[in-house]
Structure 1
Amino acid sequence: MDNNILVIIGGDAAGMSAASKVRRVQPDKQIIVFEKSGYTSYSACGIPYFISGLIATSDELIARSPEEFRTKYNIDVRTQHLVLQVDTENKRIRVLDKIKDTEFWQPYGQLLITTGGKPYCPKDIAGYNAQNVFGVSTLKSGINIENFIRNNNPKNAVIIGGGYIGLEMAEALLIRNIGVTIINRSAQLMNTLDPDMGQIVTEAVRNLGAKVYLNETLKAFEIQENAVTHVITDKQSLPADMVIFGMGSSPNTAFLAGSGIALGVRNAIKVNAQMQTNVPDVWAAGDCTETLNLVSKKHFYIAMGTVANKTGVVAGSSIAGEAATFPGAVGTAVCKVCSYEVARSGLQEKELSKLGIEYVATIIDSTTRAGYYPDSKKIVVKLLAEKNSGRLLGGQIIGEEGAAKRIDVLATAVTHNLTLQHLIDMDLSYAPPFSPVWDPVQTCARKLVKLI
């Protein structure tokens, strides 16, 4: 087998970051990328803003086209190719050419799996694939949603799920003057927040004009002419011109059955710090892999563009023979819903309780600017710290303009095991247009440190 052949499955963030890294280090290496869609290296995170009209065209979400990778970087990108099977014993993969509808075996010397995540879809419910039902994960899915809205002028949409994608799509549709109803099976929106903070998000979304139904479960669809007309829950029937699945995602790893590649949390691929799998000459990166949580020291599944890009670079470095490691993550995330910003990092109360970690927590209300400065907005900060040491374990922020990016201060503190006192002592910037003299995250830390 020619070890000079690197085959990559998946042509988005992690895969193309790795391919580009390998090309820089090894200019003569043969690199083949199989991508099931027609696009490479695009921002899936930008899809809601394309739907809202803030981003004019889908082309603006594409960092580099397949043609650019081929001509400028000498990376053999083959779009519309779906990998069906990985045979690690014989170092080959089975590929479907979707255009020609033919299959073939492709040998590899080194293999990188970057197949990402796939949106959760309740396939046991008839109508999940109706013409007005959409997941949101690929650029193609975003284009399909935009085309449907433009051609059908829907008046109301039902979003199933209240996580990041669900809320960002709610914003996009509200901006398009489409009525939004959110169904969520748990008692709050944003389950990555503690209940007290999640309740704030729920009320904020309702204040924007969306209908929110909690503790409700999707049961069925009413369908006419291959289109959903009503969404049936365990409590009611809701009219729908279109349906969006915002129920989270799972690792796209089902095709690895029988490959011998070990899977872990939620069937994500197990990797070490160099992004190597348990099989020689096979790496994995991005949303199809599990990640070490730097706070709990346990592996978890997180589908974030930041992690995908970082792990892709590390995988590329490792493949090319360079020393590189990915230490893990703390689960930092931000979300915007119209005028509201939501952010979190570290662990939640329920996670700390499950781990048996004694902690203290507090919440404060403050403002994003000096209170007397025009257009100062409300911000709510919650911090969690270890009871005896004062080590910061997590933080959550909800507010309006200027609120969310403060989470980066907390992410830095959580990542490096800093205490509340360290946070209080930080020399954070101050001027009335940007912050009160005590930044809200420090004000919250000052209140919480009294409980240590």
Structure 2
Amino acid sequence: MEISDGETLAFDYLVVATGATPRLPGVPGQDLEGIFCLRNVTDAIRIRKFIDEKRVKRAVVVGAGLISLEMCEAFRRLGLETTVVYRKDLPLRRLGEDFAEQILTELETNGVAFMGETSLEGFEPTDTGGIIVHSSGGTFETDLVLLGLGVVPQVSLASEAGLGIGSTGAISVNKFLQTNIPYIYAAGDCCECFHRISQRPVYAPLGDIANKQGRIAGANIGGQNLSFPGIVGSTCFKVFNLEVASTGLTAEEAREVGLKAEAVTIQGVSKAHSYPGSRELHIRLVADTENGRLLGAQAVGGDGVVSRINGLAVALTGGLSLDELAYLDLAYAPPFSGAWDPIHIAAQKLLK
């Protein structure tokens, strides 16, 4: 292997862990001062320093993914006037229109302006150090822009080395994290994952997955024989007072991979009805109509959302059916749930 200064390094095994880079919009002015992406702590420090030094009052967030929405909360807590520019009509529409509308309501309730169905067209500087944003929804001025358009896997080196690139655009690996060249491994945001429910490779650039893959690749190079079990696609985030989480497939995603899926949504509460502080939550379960197997779940609510989705992720991994889920022995106490948890209620409703 040749590195940048011309030095050549010999190796027995190689791990490609080149990660991912932020996706850029490809519009004029995207490199102006005051326009940021957020990938790591260093980026966060740079953004905060800019806000403090420039006395930023206004921020625009381009995109409405998990990090973008979390940053909306961070900006509002700093007192910044915050606007989201997004090409679709609702944030996280993948979760369903009803859940997406709850997320939008939470944003707007907390002072975030949402410009949906709006395309970004470019940026230009002002004479006073601000940024003019050009969009299909109009032209306006801001002090700071955060580009939250997702990431793309860094695979140029891998491609040049002859490593297989999968259908997702990331490096293809087997269950041992080996590429098509057995002594070269790949791990983290540069490679694909096997989705246990769809039975297909997916691109899931998440920190917890990268950590697990890195450990397994290193262990195998060290002589162990570990396999990465794949993922069920669990994610969560918090925006202001709303928890949002999902695992597995949505009904639409399940149908796209040829599964016969049915979904049901229930409204429940996070604790026992009589317990102080109980908050409303909504859970949607997705199941295979042919065999009753759980395929996925999505949830939004004031609290108790993530713990329930984590439980459902375990159920997905174990291949539990709705019959098993409907009477699953979950821990019960009034501060945490009713005697019938929303998971039980949703499973029983889907069985009817």
Question: When the two structures are superposed, what TM-score results if normalisation uses the length of structure 2?
Answer: 0.96
Aligned-residue offset at 1:103? 5.3
Match of 1:230 among 115, 132, 141: 132
Whole-Å separation in 1 of the counterparts to 2:232 and 2:314: 9
1:309 pairs with 211, 228, 240, which one?
Answer: 211
Q: Given the alignment of the two structures, is residue 127 of structure 1 paired with residue 29 of structure 2, yes or no?
A: yes
* 108, 119, 122: which one aligns with 2:11: 108
Deviations 1:102-142 (A, max 9, x none): 554433322101121222112x3122121101111122211
- Match of 1:63? none
Structure 2: where are the runs of 5+ without partners? none
Quote how far apart the aligned CAs of 1:225 are: 6.2
**What corresponds to 2:146 in structure 1?**
244
Whole-Å separation in 1 of the counterparts to 2:252 and 2:130: 37
User: Does the residue aligned with 1:379 lie in a helix, a strand or coil?
Assistant: strand
Of 339, 346, 350, the residue aligned with 1:437 is 339
Which structure 2 residues correspond to residues 37-436 of structure 1 after superposition, within 5 A? 92-95=1-4, 102=5, 104-122=7-25, 124-224=26-126, 229-436=131-338
Q: Check conservation: 1:365, 1:378, Cα contact below 8 A.
A: yes
Q: Structure 1, residues 167-206: CA drift from partner, whole Å, max 9, x if none?
A: 1111111111111111111222124422332222122221
Paired with 2:110 and 2:18, the residues of 1 have a C-alpha distance of 36
Q: Which runs of 4+ in 1 moved over 6 A?
A: none
When residues 309 and 225 of structure 1 are mapped into structure 2, their CA distance, relative to the original with a 3 A threshold, is farther
Instruction: Summarize the Cα distance change of 1:131–1:428 in structure 2 as closer, same or farther, 3 Å threshold.
Output: same
How does the TM-score come out when normalised to structure 1?
0.75
Structure 2 CA distance for partners of 1:166 and 1:370, relative to 1, 3 Å: same
Q: Which residue is 1:60 aligned to?
A: none
Distance 2:116 2:100 in 1: 12
The size of the alignment, in residue pairs, is 352
Query: What letter matches 1:240 in structure 2?
Result: T
Q: Secondary structure at the match of 2:9?
A: strand
> Counterpart in 2 of 1:449?
351
The CA distance in 2 between the partners of 1:328 and 1:444, in whole Å, is 26
- Residue 32 of structure 1 is matched in structure 2 by none
Of 423-432 and 104-113, the range deviating more from structure 2:
104-113
The offset of 1:317, in angstroms, is 1.1
**For residues 220 and 200 of structure 1, what CA distance do their matches in structure 2 show?**
30
Give the 3 Å change call, closer, same or farther, for CA 113–438 of structure 1 in structure 2: same
Q: How far off is 1:255 after superposition?
A: 3.1
Q: Tell me whether 393-402 or 198-207 shows the greater mean CA deviation.
A: 198-207
Q: Is the 8 A contact 2:106 2:240 kept in 1?
A: no
Of all paired residues, the percent bearing the same amino acid is: 33
How far off its partner does 1:347 sit? Answer: 0.6
Shift of 1:420: 1.2
Query: Residues 302 and 227 of structure 1: is their aligned pair in 2 closer, same or farther, counting only changes over 3 Å?
Result: farther
Structure 2 distance, partners of 1:104, 1:227, is 44
Q: Which amino acid aligns with 2:88?
A: S
- Offset at residue 406 of structure 1 (A): 1.2
Task: Give unmatched runs, 5+ long, in structure 1.
Answer: 1-91, 96-101
Q: Distance in 2 between matches of 1:185 and 1:105?
A: 46
Taking the aligned partners of 1:241 and 1:316, their CA distance within structure 2 comes to 44
Indicate if the aligned counterparts of 1:250 and 1:266 stay in contact, CA closer than 8 A.
no
In 2 relative to 1, CA 191–302 (structure 1 residues): closer, same or farther, beyond 3 Å? farther
